[in-house]
Every structure is written in structure tokens, then in C-alpha cells.
Structure 1
Amino acid sequence: MPRVATSMGHEIGYVEAGGGDATPIVFLHGVGSDKSVWHPQLTHFGRTRRSIAFDYPGYGDSDPAPEGTTRDDYAEAILSAMAALDIDRAHICGLSLGGVVAIAMHDSVPQRCASMILADTFAVHPEGRAIYERSLAGSLDLAAMAQARVDVLLAQPADPQVRREVVETMSRIDPAAYRIGAEAVWLADQRDRAAAIRVPTLVVCGDKDVITPPALSDALADLIPGARMALIAGAGHLANLEKPDEFNAILGQFID
């Protein structure tokens, strides 16, 4: 997989599809995943525009993340990688941790964000501290964690192929990277940053999401002036994988 240098002095992995003159779309993954989670969206949106999914530092094909890396560092890595790939401005689509990073990107350089698509995410999670502490308890065996959490992440009954993919992807994550990602997402409080968003924004959530329930998406949408809210029936926390056709249709209509 290709890699691109960032302003932080290391390289991050990315995968892309498509091209043309339409505004590109950038996809940002969650804490228990990597860029590969976006393959249904790259296939779909790559037919009409340049579509890119990035790894965060430490994830996937990226160089290890330095100790002390923050969500703002993730945001800077993505922004500088976009610049290196000649992407001046893009629709930014982030799921879970990706939504947190997208909000941080807008806070840093709002003019780089043509629009925001914030999926299964939040400005602040009322149980974030407890989730963070539980997620880091024990030896951080990511393979065991994946098996233990997959049926909570996905609406039931889950598609066996999607379930297998989620387990395999989470099992590959480096524990050190997961620790950094867990802090970046679960301890976030970006209510002020969300309230300052002034680009078109779509908030999307699976109606069966128990990790970041629809009420948190409602609260996020209420913070952002003019934000639209959409629920995806029958989807859990990974709505883009569980219901890709519905997810892609909602995003496509919004972008159009």
C-alpha cells in the first residue's frame, strides 16, 4: 500500500480510488480499525471523484506514532498528507474516532473542509472516561478484544463476512497505537469546536449503535448550525460496513 510523508516527520498509509475534477472525499477510520474499513465507499465514490482513506500514525501501513501523539496530531498528519497529495480541499468523512479527528481538522484549518460527514461519533461522550479505562485494562490483546467486542460493535444478527473482517482488522492493530487512539477518541470534549463549524455538515448514525448511541449524534447535530441528521436502520456502530448501500446513498445525496 502507498504511503505519504506528513509534516510530523513520518509516513502514513493511504489507499485511493477515482479521480476527476469533483471535490475529493477523505475517509477517516475508527479506533479499532484502519483505512481498509472504507473499501465499500472507495469503490462507490471512486466512480465519480477522487476518494482517499488514510491510516493514522501508528495504524495500518503508517510509521509508529510517537509517545504523546494526540487527536490534534492525527488531524495535522491528515491535513499535511492531503497537501502532499495535492488535495487542497475535500469533503471530510470520519467515523467514531474519525469524526473526532474531522472536527479537529476543521478547527485547525476550516477552509480545507468542503463539508463534514460525522458518522457514529460525538462531541463529548458521557461515558468516555469509563470506556477509556475499560478498553485499556489488562494486557491489550487486540485479537481477544476483537472477539469480545465485535458483537457489540455490530447490530445483530451480523453478517458473518463483516463480522470476520472486523475481527481480523482489529486484531492487526498495534497495542501502542490503540492506546493513543483510545485516548484521542474517548477523552475528547470538542463541544466548542463543533459549535464553531460553519460548513455543510451531515451527522449519520446507525439506529442500533450502542457504542455511540443516536442520542449522541442528535446532540452533536444540535451543536452544529444547519447540520442534517440521518439514521441508518439496522446498522450498529460500523454503519458504513454494515449497510454500505444505504450509507453511500445518504452521503451521495448530501454531497450532491
Structure 2
Amino acid sequence: MNYQIHEGNGYKYIDEGKGEILLLLHGLFGALSNWEGVIEGFKSHYRVIIPMMPIYTMPITKAGCEGLNEYIEGFVAWKGLENLTLLGNSLGGHVGLIFTLKNPSKVKRLVLTGSSGLFENGMGGSYPKRGSYEYIKERVEYTFYDPKTASKDLIDEVFEITNSAQKVIRIISIAKSAQRNNMAKDVVRIKVPTLLVWGLNDTITPPQVGHEFNRLIEGSELHFIDKCCHAPMMERPEQFNKILNNWLEKTPIGVPEMAY
């Protein structure tokens, strides 16, 4: 990925383009590169910002959804960001939900794709096993409809992460926090325009989760992408970008909420 990673005030992030802000949040085993297709598709018309969440380095006492939200709140405050379109995949969607509810004046549009917050089948139903490359390969491939989408570089990266005892402790703490933090009673309070993009073949947050978000968030719009699993922006970037672009154009910031 050929984008500059900026560093400042304890944060690492990508900041590309100019215009309305798209703030992108990656998942538990995610990375900045997960959003490469969105950067390419939108940097000519939007300012695309992706903070690297400190999933593997944050203090263990903070390792959870609330701690990650505090980190994003600090980043947004430090950068002076306003009028956000917030996009989150998997755990990033969960953090995005918390952020939206706690900072309603800052978020103007919300996009969830394969988001946790209601239900997720983490790592295919088990916590990461250390030392078994084949196990990690199988679990990473489980994230995609086409196993070939899981490149060797991606598998190697996750394998390296799961071989660190300190990183695994944080992963388990955050995963358990996400499972405990069911937001069904909270998301009904979200009133900003919300787009839901789900893989029709998602094995981690199955299609029913997308339907449930759609039912709970008034006025939300749900799209499914066929032959796609848990990370549509990676596995089907062209379709994802088309859905996102069409929705952004018909829900401009500044119109009365829920007017669409």
C-alpha cells in the first residue's frame, strides 16, 4: 500500500484527499490496508482518514470497545474533525456505533459493513491458537468467500500477531468486550442516515445481523453483496464503492435528518 502513514500525538493514521471527511475504522485483525479500495475510489472527492487503532498495544485495562472509542474520540478531538461520515467494518463498526451515540453532533452519516454489536462468530467460533500456521490460515480464509483473497502476507501478519502472548491477551480481552457489549437497546437511538453493506455469505456476522441492524436503526438502508463474506470493501471493492458512492450522493450532509 503506497500511502503515507502520518504520526503525531501518539497516533498513526492515513489522511488522503480533500473535502467531506470519511473516517474509516478497521476490525480486530484489520489494518489500514483493508480500506485501500475505498481510498482509491474516494480520495479524489473526499478526505479519507484512517486511524490505526491500538488493538495490540493499548493498556490491558483499556482493552475493550469503550477503550477503543476513547482512543478514537481523542484522535478526532486532536485533529479537530467535524461533520464525519463514519465507516466501520467488524469491530470498527462496533466502535463506530459507540462513537456515534456518544458524539451525535460530530457524526452526520454512518456506514456499517459486517459490524459487530449485535452478534458475531469471532475467529470462526474460537479464540486464536498460537503456533499453528495452518490453523491461522484456515481462520483468516474463513473471513472471505474466496479463500484466495487471504493473501500470504495477510496470513503471515495474523500469524505473527497471534504468536505474541501480549497481543493475544489484548485480542481476547477486546473480543470478549465486544461479545458482552450487545447494543440492541442502544442502536435504536441512532438517527443519522445509516448505510448497511453486508456480504451475503458472511459467516462471522451473518446476513440476519444486517437485517437486525436494518430493523433497529430507523430509516437505515441495507444492501447485500453476493459471493462476499465479512469484509466487502476488501473482497468486492468495486461493488462496495458503487453502493457507497450512490448512497453518499443521495444523502448529502446538511439535509434534515431522516429526510431520505
- Give the TM-score normalised by structure 2: 0.83
- 2:48 is aligned with 1:44: no
Could you give the per-residue CA deviations for residues 8-27 of structure 1, whole angstroms, max 9, x where no partner exists? xxx232112111xx320011
For the residue of structure 2 that corresponds to 1:153, the secondary structure is: coil
Distance in 2 (alpha carbons) for counterparts of 1:126 and 1:241: 19
AA aligned to 1:243 is: R
**RMSD of equivalent CA atoms:** 2.3
For the residue of structure 1 that corresponds to 2:223, the secondary structure is: strand
AA aligned to 1:163 is: S
Cα deviation, residue 36, structure 1:
2.0
For the residue of structure 2 that corresponds to 1:93, the secondary structure is: strand
Match of 2:155 in 1: 167
- 2:246 is aligned with 1:253: yes
- 2:211 is aligned with 1:215: no
Paired residues for 1:227-238 under 5 Å: 227-238=220-231
Q: Aligned pair in 2 of structure 1 residues 80, 217: CA closer, same or farther (>3 Å)? A: same
For the residue of structure 2 that corresponds to 1:148, the secondary structure is: helix
Q: Structure 2 unaligned runs (5+)?
A: 162-166, 250-260
Distance in 1 (alpha carbons) for counterparts of 2:135 and 2:43: 33
Match of 2:16 in 1: 17
Q: Aligned pair in 2 of structure 1 residues 155, 193: CA closer, same or farther (>3 Å)? A: same
Q: Aligned pair in 2 of structure 1 residues 56, 145: CA closer, same or farther (>3 Å)? A: farther
Cα deviation, residue 79, structure 1:
2.0
Q: Do the aligned partners of 2:120 and 2:205 also contact (CA within 8 Å) in 1?
A: no
Q: Aligned pair in 2 of structure 1 residues 169, 221: CA closer, same or farther (>3 Å)? A: farther
Q: Aligned pair in 2 of structure 1 residues 142, 45: CA closer, same or farther (>3 Å)? A: farther
AA aligned to 2:6 is: P
Match of 2:27 in 1: 30
Could you give the per-residue CA deviations for residues 18-63 of structure 1, whole angstroms, max 9, x where no partner exists? 11xx32001111111122211111121111111011221244xxxx
Q: Aligned pair in 2 of structure 1 residues 142, 48: CA closer, same or farther (>3 Å)? A: farther
AA aligned to 1:80 is: G
Distance in 2 (alpha carbons) for counterparts of 1:89 and 1:17: 17
Q: Aligned pair in 2 of structure 1 residues 181, 126: CA closer, same or farther (>3 Å)? A: closer
Paired residues for 1:80-91 under 5 Å: 80-91=74-85
- 2:188 is aligned with 1:195: yes
Match of 1:104 in 2: 98
Q: Do the aligned partners of 1:95 and 1:121 also contact (CA within 8 Å) in 2?
A: yes
Which of 3, 9, 21 matches 2:7?
A: 3
Q: Aligned pair in 2 of structure 1 residues 126, 90: CA closer, same or farther (>3 Å)? A: closer
Cα deviation, residue 165, structure 1:
4.4
Q: Aligned pair in 2 of structure 1 residues 114, 149: CA closer, same or farther (>3 Å)? A: same
For the residue of structure 2 that corresponds to 1:222, the secondary structure is: helix
Which of 122, 136, 159 matches 1:146?
A: 136
AA aligned to 2:184 is: R
Match of 1:179 in 2: 172
Tell me the matched-pair count.
Answer: 239
Distance in 2 (alpha carbons) for counterparts of 1:83 and 1:190: 24
Comparing 220-229 and 169-178, the one that deviates more: 169-178
Q: Aligned pair in 2 of structure 1 residues 177, 12: CA closer, same or farther (>3 Å)? A: farther
Match of 2:127 in 1: 135
